[in-house]
């Protein structure tokens, strides 16, 4: 049995390409990770990883509209993480909006 070639096929999309697509979309409008996932065709988790990278690469030009609790209106202003919080610290509700992103 011959050894497999090290790179049997080119991955469907390189990170750079995905980041360019995400950047282009975010320059146009304000989108959530879930929406970006559908538009670019990668998982929400992957979108968040790319956004983390873009956040540092763009030196703060990635703007985040914070998550908000639909029960009490609490806004997660100080949250640094890009992922949606699981639960409201004030009322314990799990009805929380997704943060959305845009590039200013
Ligand atoms: Zn709440």
State pLDDT tens for residues 57-80: 998 899 999 999 999 999 999 988
Per residue in 46-63, pLDDT tens? 999 999 999 999 988 999
Range of the domain at 84: 15-103
Mean pLDDT of 13-22: 90
72 within domain boundaries: yes
Segments in 1-104 forming alpha helices (H): 15-28, 33-40, 44-57
Number of domains into which the chain is organized = 1
Does residue 22 sit within a domain? yes
Residue 9 lies in a domain: no
pLDDT, position 103: 96
Categorise residue 59: left if φ over 0, alpha if ψ from -120 to 50, beta otherwise.
left
Residue 10 resides in a domain: no
From the CA of 32, how far away is ligand 1's center (Å)? 20
Q: Does residue 86 lie within any of the structural domains?
A: yes
Question: Is 1 part of any domain?
Answer: no
Task: Say how many Å lie between the first and final Cα of the chain, rounded.
Answer: 54
Alpha-carbon gap, residue 73 to 48, rounded angstroms: 24
Is residue 46 one of the residues assigned to a domain? yes
Helix (H, G, I), strand (E, B) or coil at 33: helix
* Å from CA of 77 to ligand 1 middle: 13
Distance from Cα 46 to the centre of ligand 1, integer Å: 28
- Centre of ligand 1 from the C-alpha of residue 47, in Å: 26
CATH number of the domain that residue 99 is part of: 1.10.10
Q: State residue 51's pLDDT score.
A: 96
pLDDT given at position 11? 60
């Amino acid at each position: 049995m011959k050894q497999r070639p090290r790179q049997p096929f080119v991955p469907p999309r390189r990170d750079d390409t995905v980041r360019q697509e995400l950047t282009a979309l975010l320059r146009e409008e304000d989108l959530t990770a879930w929406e970006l996932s559908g538009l670019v065709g990668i998982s929400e988790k992957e979108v968040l990883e790319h956004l983390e990278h873009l956040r540092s690469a763009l030196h703060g030009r990635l703007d985040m509209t914070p998550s908000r609790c639909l029960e009490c209106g609490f806004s997660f202003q100080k949250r640094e993480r890009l992922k949606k919080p699981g639960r409201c610290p004030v009322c314990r509700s799990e009805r929380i909006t997704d943060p959305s992103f845009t590039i200013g």
